[in-house]
A = this chain, B = another copy of it.
């Protein structure tokens, strides 16, 4: 009888969630079927339900675990007594590294949250809205301090966050520059676009 093998010390549920992330990224949430997932896990579709409640639950788990990591990070950064530019750079580096090293989850959380259902959907959208406002507030502050040139802060946030999601293309490409080079290039361009001179 087939059995979900749990290397490391992952629960079987965690194995399923991880495989789901890969699958949802490759095909999209709607196009990825539970039978696909079952095959990836090495088990029959019905067996998955010994470990999870529903397909949507998988999406919840992915979306909120990612969202929580970003919220914790901005909590931390806001408290630091550094310049606005340094705070932004720190956040950007965190985003970049999340996108590099937890690609599947972050990508899914970014692109597939639309398919959450409604207590969770509104919740997620709220968290996202609040996160962006806090990010924008840091930028506004930098503008007041003349560290950052006079721009529309929400627009700057939207540029930063979406630019980083472009790391998707880096993952897809065959001739990749190293993660470190990628990080430095992105910081150079993005921070370079903000600073007052």
Contact = CB atoms under 8 A, between A and B. Distances in A.
Interface size class of A (residues with CB under 8 A): 35 or more
A188 B151 contact: yes
Interface string A145-168: 000010110111011111111111
Contacts of A173: 154
B115 A28 contact: yes
A191 B165 CA distance: 19
Total copies of this chain within the assembly: 2
Contact of A159 (B115, B152, B163, B194): B163
A189 B159 CA distance: 8
Contact of A111 (B27, B30, B111, B162): B111
B181 A152 contact: yes
Interface of A: 27-28, 30-31, 111, 114-115, 149, 151-152, 154-156, 158-170, 173, 177, 181-182, 185-186, 188-194, 197
